[in-house]
Structure formats: structure tokens, C-alpha cells
Structure 1
Amino acid sequence: MKPIIECVPNFSEGVDQGIIHSITGAIGSVEGVKLLNVDPGRGANRTVVTFAGEPEAVVEAAFQGIKMAGELIDMRTQKGEHPRMGATDVCPLIPVSNISLDETAQYAIQLAKRVGDELKIPVYLYEHAQPNKKRSNLAAIRAGEYEGFFKKIKLPMWQPDFGPAELDAKRGATVIGARDFLVAYNINLNTSSTHIANEIAQEVRETGKIIINENGKERIPGALKHVKAIGWYIEEYGKAQVSMNLTNITETPIHQVFDEVAAKAADHGVTVTGSELIGMIPLKAMVEAGRHFLHQQGITYLVNERKLIDAAIQAMGLNELAPFDPQKRIIEYQLG
């Protein structure tokens, strides 16, 4: 069996369809790569692209996408709700089958070196590809964002792993690494309050929040492990969202996240109206979610896979903002 890896680059353009098509065209032009999903977000001004194939082809396609993004996206004028530091903000490689995370990390390092050497873009390694664990967290690397990186990149502890130690004003910097499967998931609230969305995010995310009491500053952990979250308002939808990355859906499945956010929302006097999946999700996660929500309704007898998926879509309101097509959003269905 051939090794298969997935790549999910995030590009800092979610509005200009011409630019998005040029980037995905560059990726899709590489033989042996299957383009699985293109998910632009206007408010975030960010497009998440998912593709997969054998490692060598995926690395080449990622390089071509990063190159094209650098040519077409100008970070000097880019604005959006999502944190970002470069035209290609982050580019993770993920093992899918017949390849280990360690092996995938070596391909990520190979890609990062090529981007730094040939394109002269500053590159930071993250997650499993980064040997220095003080620099492995994406949020820590990206802190300060594009605007703050002109100074940050000059600090000794924030020298890039590859490429010049000077921020490219037009293209910014890029983070490349290897990680396990991550689900990008936003939950919609019936409020426009960023404050409330942020409060809920702090209460559910693993890192929690910092409070000040008589003992000084104290960190209060959140309810959900392996969850990163922020709150924001998306003008396009007229809604605030709790925007999350679920980094271990085996230990903290998506249905548990939905229920917890709904409970915290109720504590703040607001309700969850639905949710939004960014990119793709494994079949197992949707099946388990469907089974969970049917059990909540007292349905414990066996139902087929399609009905379980439909139950998950309906319970989590995945159709609220746009149609949710399982054939396009579930990775196993796309890979065949």
C-alpha cells in the first residue's frame, strides 16, 4: 500500500476568487495530488485548502501553492478577522495511511527548507516537525501577527528555521509542520457580542483564562482538553462565533465540544443556532456524533451510516450557513 498524506494550507485570502483559483490551480496541476476541498471565508479573509496524495507529490503541490500565494497576496493590505502572519499562513502535513507522523515530519522539514531556500520566505517549523518544543505551538509562533513580526523576527529566540531572518513585507512569513488530524470548527451564537463569544471560548478551551484575585494572577483551565478557541464576530453572517481547533477528536470528539459550548452559551443567556465545519472531517467523527445525538433522543437501536451522518448534521446545525455535503466534506468519501 502506498503512503498517503494530507496537506491543509491556510492562505490569507478569502474574498478574491481569481486569486483563490490561481492558488488551487497551481496545487491541482501537480500529478498524483487530489484536491479535496476549498473553503474560503470572507470575514476571516482566509481560505483553507485540503489535498492529499503520495508524499513527494503533496510536497511539490504545497510548494507550488505557497509560491503562487506569495506572488498574488499582498500582506501590506490584507485585513481579516483571523490571526495571520503570511500569505501562506500555515501549512501542515498530516499522515493519512501507511506512513507515521515521524516520517511525515521529515517531509514537512524538506518542504520548509525548500520554501526558505528557493522562495526566500522566512519559515518556522511547528508541531511534530519542530524539535524545540518552546517553538512548536502555532499560537506562540504567530503571536504579534504580521504587523508585529518585523521586530519579532529580529529577536534571537525567534529566528526562523529556514529562510532570511527578515520579514518579507509582501509575503510575510510561513509556518510549516506535521501534526495529527485537526478539525477546524466554529459554533454560531444568536448574538453579535464578541465579548460573550470570547467568554465562552475561554471557558471551554484547554488553556482556559487568567483571573486576578488576592493571590495575583491565576490561570483557570477550561472544560475541554485538546481544544483551542477564540471568539469573534463575522459580519457576513451577522453572528458571533466560538471559533475552535480540535486537536485530538479521539479524546475530545466534536459532539462533546458542541454540547459543552451550548451549555456555556446558555449560562450567558444566549443560544447556539448551528455550527460550521472548516475543511474536512473523518468519517468516524461524524458517525460517532450521530450516534451520540440519537442516544440523546432515546434512539438506541442500530441505524445505518447515512442516517447517523444526517443526525449529526441536523443536531449540530451544520447546514445553517451553507449546505453541508458529506460526499465533499468527509475525507474518506473524497479519497474513495
Structure 2
Amino acid sequence: MEPIIECVPNFSEGRNPEIIKQITNEIESVAGVRLLNVDPGKATNRTVVTFVGSPQAVIDAAFLAIKRAGEVIDMRSHKGEHPRMGATDVCPLIPIAGITMEETAVWAQRLAKRVGEELHIPVYLYEAAQPDKSRSNLSVIRAGEYEGFFKKITLPEWKPDFGPAGFDARRGGTVIGARDFLVAYNVNLNTTSPRRANAIAFDVREAGRVIKEGEQPVQVPGSLRSVKAIGWFIEEYGIAQISMNLTNIRVTPVHIAFDEVCRKAAERGIRVTGSELVGLIPLQSMLDAGRYFLEKQQRSTGVSEKELIRIAILSMGLEDLGPFIPEERIIEYQLRNPADEKLVRMPLRDFADETASESPAPGGGSISAYVGALGASLATMVANLSSHKKGWDSRWREFSDWAQKGQGYKDELIRLVDADTRAFNAIMAAFGLPKGNPTEKAARHSAIQEATKMAIEIPFRVMTVAAESMGLIRAMAETGNPNSVSDAGVGAVCARAAVLGAFMNVRINAAGYEDKAYVVDILARGNALQDETIRAEAAILQLVNEKIGM
């Protein structure tokens, strides 16, 4: 996998769109970089920008953005609610795919060195990029903010890692580092009091608050680990907020942070009215939140990805201050390539028309995957109906677990619809490669074999997933809502069609693959899956027919 890193610089300008555009134009000028999100805040007078790309392209874009920010932002006149110390206040790099945190930290150090040496801006390293762990915490580095740094930077212990040891009045200083994915998240309160908001922030943040026991100050930790929080008043909205950085969403996910702020606010007589995401969030965080709130209602969590996201938005009030558009706020949705989902995005009629056309793709492999997805969907429907059936309340979790498993089968088979067509297209492309000399012939032959193997393995995966779904289908035929037993029966027929259809594609593509040991093995496993599926379908249909009784 090609290495991909994310960069989330925070610029000290959130009110002038022309200035912000000048900075983001620099980012977009670099090939190999994709700008994902620009999130300005008027009250904070700060803009959070998110972009991704290859490591070299990302640090090139970040350098240009930092340079431009220093030219168009004057810190001498900057005011805002958020702590800050420079025109580019902080610039973290985050490993996304194909790269380790240690490797990302090296790229951050390269960027910091270049900014310090070429732009003459004081630069501090933080988090994984900072070898001195006594000064790796962003809040410790930034303490004193812009106004206090003119003196702070002269102290030997606060000499910058790169750049001059003198503070630039116009541009300030910047902090560059490497860290895990951080979610910036604000919770809205029905109060205008920043003091009360701060009290709730101290209740929940990991650092807690300092209290006096006798003459000695004592640090009392808050209730949420890996959370930084402050309270402030947002004039733009006329409310106070708890502004949080969730630095490890595996330790404290968004939904837990939201619920805990609700609890602590209620203890102080304050209500939470909603919340606000700053920048992007991983898909898994939204799915986990949706499942969490459904479980609290004792409702099935085996619903679609889209529905889980909708539940998360409603439950956390993410549209309290403005629209929450998943396609713009979820990082995986920003990164996905629409071409990878060309078929499954089609209306049903268009899909059928495309299949019926003279084009050889989509063919039997894609259709097998789609039929399998329909079979898993029918069984999942039975599980959800059973979970919510009146009088079956004590069994809601049992059927919820089945439904969640069914959603997994359905989602993977849907993904394989387009994957099978891409595999076929790759074979056609390989056959079209030049073969004018021995080198070209060898490259063409290698490409054909590689594409052929993929065209075997994708339908074999369809077989595997569709066969696995038979367990869910049988369970629903045996124990699910009896009014929907026929739906389980149709699901079994679909799953059998998917397995047998996909195996035809495995076999026809295997004929052109030269690794005979591999071919013998996969055909043997395919035959076993086919026989197992035929037996499973027969057993399920016997159950269904007995229950229908006519």
C-alpha cells in the first residue's frame, strides 16, 4: 500500500475567507495532495484545514501553507477564544495508511527543519516527533500563548527545536509534530457562562483541576482519559461550549465524551443542547456512536451504515449549530473513489440495463455477489423484525447480534460487486499491453497472470461470504419471526445462487492461470463450499416448507 499521511494545520484566521483561500490555494497547488476539509471558526478566529497525500507531497504543501500564512496573517492584531502562538499555530501529521508513526515523525521533523531554516520561524516539535518528552505536550509548549512567548523563547529550556530563538511579532511561532488521529469536538450548553462551562471542562478532562488541601495544591484528575477540554463562550452562537480534543478515541470515544459531559452538566443544573465536530472524524467513530445509542434504547444495532450515522447525528445533536453532511465530515468518505462503486451506486433499473447491454461487464461474478448481498439482506431483515417483535423483548440482543453479522455479510458482498468487474477489466487491460519485443511480452504475460489470479480470488471470496451467510439464514428460519420465514427461504435460494454462480467464475478464470498447484487447491476448496451450500439450502428449505405448511 502506498503511504498516505494526513495533515491538519490550524491557522490563526477564521473570519476572512479571502485570507483562508490564499492559504488553501497553496495546498491545492501541490500534485499528489487532496484537500478534504476547511473548517473556519469566527469566535475562535481559527481555521482547521485537513488534507492528505503522499508524505513528500504533504510536507511540500504544508510548507507552502505555513509560508503563506506567515505572509497574510498578522499576529499582532489577532484575537480569538482558542489558545494560539502563531499564524500557523500547530501542524500535525497523522499516519493514515502504509506508514508507521515512527516514519511519520521523521517526516514531521523534516518539515520542521525546513520551516525553521528557510522561513526563519521558531518551530517546536511535539508528540511523536519530539524526542524530549518533557516538552512534547502541545498545551505545555503553548502555555503563555503568543503574548507570553516573547519572554518564554529566551529561556534556555524553551529554545526552539528549529529556527531562531527570537519571537517573530508578525508570524509568531509554530508547533509541528506527529500524532494519532485526534477528534476536535465541542459540546453546546444552555448557558452563556464560560465559568460554568470551564467547571464542567475541569470535571471531565484528564488533567482535572488543582485544589488546595490545607496549604498544598493537589491535582484532582477528571473523569475522561485522553481528553483535553476548556470552556468558553461563543459569541457567534450566543452559547457556552465545552471544547475538547479527544487525543485517543480508542480510550475515550466521541459518544462516551458526549454522554459524560451531559452527566456532569446535569449535576450543575445545565443542559447539553447538542454538539459540534471540528474537522473530520473516522467512520468507525460514527458507527460506534450509532450502535451505542441504539443499545441504550435496546434496539437492534444491525442496521445499515447510513442509519447508524443518522442515529449518531441525532443522538449527539451534531446538527444543532448547522448541517452535518457525512460525505464532507467522515474521512473515509472523503478518501473513497466513486469509480470503485460505479455499479452499486446505479439505480436498480440502470444496473439491469448495464448488465443487459453488449458490454461483457458486469457479468456473472458481479451478479453473483449482488444476489448474495440480497440473500444476506433478507436474513438481516428477519433478524431486525425479530429483535423488535412485540413480546420478544428479552431476545432483542440475540437478534441484534445476528442482524449486525448480516450487515457485515451484505456490505462485503456489495463491495465485491464492483471488485469483480474491476478484476475483469484488469484482465482486458493486461491483454491490451504491447508485445512488440521480449521485454514487453514478459511484462504483458506477468500482468495477465496477476490479473487472472485476482479474477479467481474475488469470486472465491463471494463464495466464502455467501456460504457463511447460510448460518445466519438458517438461524432466522429456525428461530426468527415466523411471519417472515419465507423471506429466510428466499435468502437461502439467493445465497446458493451466489455460491454456485461465483464458482463458475472461479473455474473459468482458473483455466487461464499457470500455477497448477494453486488451481488444484482453490478448485478443491470451491467444490467443498459448493457442496456444503447445496446441503445448507436443502435443510433450510425443508424448515421453511414445514413452517409454511401448505
Shorter-chain TM-score: which interval?
A: over 0.9
Could you list the runs of 4 or more consecutive aligned residues of structure 1 that deviate by over 2 angstroms after TM superposition? none
**Which string of whole-angstrom CA distances, capped at 9 and with x for unpartnered residues, describes residues 217-259 of structure 1?**
1111100000000000000010000000000001111100000
2:318 and 2:21 map into 1 onto residues whose CA distance is 25
1:283 corresponding residue in structure 2: 283
Structure 1: distance between partners of 2:114 and 2:292: 45
Q: What's the secondary structure of 2:47's corresponding residue?
A: strand
Report the CA distance between 1:298 and its aligned residue.
1.6
Cα 1:311–1:149, aligned 2, differ >3 Å: closer, same or farther?
A: same
- In structure 1, the partner of 2:480 is none
Q: Deviations over 1:193-212 (max 9, x none)?
A: 10110000000000111111
Distance of 2:282 and 2:198 partners within structure 1 = 28
Counterpart in the other structure of 2:298? 298
Look up the equivalent residue of 1:26 and give its one-letter code: E
The equivalent of 2:481 in structure 1 is none
- 1:235 equivalent to 2:235? Answer yes
1:245 counterpart residue number: 245
Matched, 1:155 2:155: yes
TM-score (norm 1): 0.99
User: Which amino acid counterpart does residue 5 of structure 2 have in structure 1?
Assistant: I
1:132 alignment partner in structure 2: 132
What residue ranges of structure 1 are gaps of 5+ in the alignment? none
Answer whether contact 2:39 2:47 (CA < 8 A) is retained.
Answer: yes
**Residue in 1 that maps onto 2:122:** 122
Matched, 1:271 2:291: no
CA distance in 1, matches of 2:100, 2:68: 29
Q: CA deviation at 1:296?
A: 1.2
Instruction: Give the Å deviation of 1:139.
Output: 0.3
Count of paired positions: 336
Separation in structure 2 between the aligned mates of residue 237 and residue 297 of structure 1, nearest angstrom = 31
Using CA pairs under 8 Å that are at least 6 residues apart, name the structure with larger relative contact order, 1 or 2.
Answer: 1
Q: Residue by residue, what CA displacement relative to the aligned partner does 1:21-42 show, whole Å, maximum 9, x if unpaired?
A: 0000111110010000000000
Letter in 2 for 1:256: I
Aligned to 1:22: 22
How does the TM-score come out when normalised to structure 2?
Answer: 0.61
Deviations 1:71-101 (CA, angstroms, capped at 9, x unpaired):
0000000000000000000000000001000
Partner of 1:213: 213
Aligned to 1:12: 12
TM-superposed deviation, 1:297: 1.5
Alignment of 1:1-336 (within 5 A): 1-214=1-214, 216-336=216-336
Secondary structure class of the residue paired with 1:165: coil
Q: Deviation per CA, 1:138-162, whole angstroms, max 9, x where unpaired?
A: 0000000000000000000000000
Report the Cα offset of residue 321 of structure 1.
0.7
Evaluate the alpha carbon distance shift between residue 170 and residue 306 of structure 1 in structure 2; reply closer, same or farther with a 3 A threshold.
Answer: same
Give the match's secondary structure for 2:76.
Answer: coil
Three-state SS of the structure 2 residue aligned to 1:15 is coil
The question of whether the paired residues in 1 share the 8 Å contact of 2:5 and 2:53 is answered with yes
Matched residues, percent identical? 66
- Give 1:301 shift: 4.5
> What's the CA shift for 1:214?
2.3
- Give the secondary structure class of the aligned counterpart of 2:77: coil
Q: Which amino acid aligns with 2:205?
A: R
CA distance in 2, matches of 1:155, 1:307: 54
**Closer/same/farther in 2, CA of residues 134 and 33 from structure 1, 3 Å limit:** same
2:482: which partner in 1?
A: none
1:39 is aligned with what amino acid? D
In 2, the alpha carbon distance for the partners of 1:303 and 1:268 equals: 36
CA positional deviation for 1:215: 5.6
CA distance in 1, matches of 2:184, 2:28: 22
Letter in 2 for 1:203: D
Equivalent position SS for 1:76: helix
| Residue identity opposite 1:106 in structure 2 | V
More strand by share: 1
What SS does the corresponding residue of 2:162 show, helix, strand or coil? coil
Structure 1: distance between partners of 2:239 and 2:303: 34
Give the distance between the partners of 1:146 and 1:171, measured in 2 at CA.
10
Aligned partners of 2:291 and 2:301 also within 8 Å:
no
Higher-Rg structure is 2
Give the letter aligned to residue 167 of structure 1: F
